[in-house]
Amino acid sequence: MCPDTSKLSKYLKPEHAKDGDVITFLDSGVIVEKTFKKDGRDETKPVLEIAVKFRGETKTYSPNGTTVKMLSTAWGTATEKWVGKSAVITILPANNGKDMILAKPKDAKPGAAKSEESQVNGTADEVEEVPF
């Protein structure tokens, strides 16, 4: 059996997941300041980091703005209400040439959260920043 390289990272990354994988939220998360490169310069912004169960492992997941909106619409903006709930992963191309993870609430009622297709029009070009 080949080793699973996803076990080498504490973070849930697009290259470790596939469409249809399920994550379960384990805690309410924390907001941390992260520095990213944008247009050749450093940009610092707040990012939600939340523990999830993924394939039997605990991983840190940083949902993008579109995912945060879908989860908040389904479960509320207080992330402690997300604990114990599950979401289904979709991998989409991002406008930076990399893939990204979109997580749709598994138990969402029809119309409770907009579909990922209407949120991002088939690509991640229009994915919003995390609203923190």
Q: Are 116 and 130 in contact (CB under 8 A)?
A: no
pLDDT value for 37: 84
Q: Are 116 and 104 in contact (CB under 8 A)?
A: yes
Indicate the average pLDDT of the chain.
83
pLDDT value for 121: 40
Tell me the average pLDDT across 31-36: 94
| pTM of structure | 0.76
pLDDT value for 48: 97
Q: Which pair of tokens denotes residue 131?
A: 């609203």
pLDDT tens-digit profile of 52-101? 999 999 999 999 999 999 999 999 999 999 999 999 999 999 887 889 99
Q: How far apart are the first and last CA of the chain?
A: 42
16 exposure class (CB count in 10 Å sphere: 0-12, 13-18, 19+): buried
Neighbours of 107 (CB within 10 A): 10
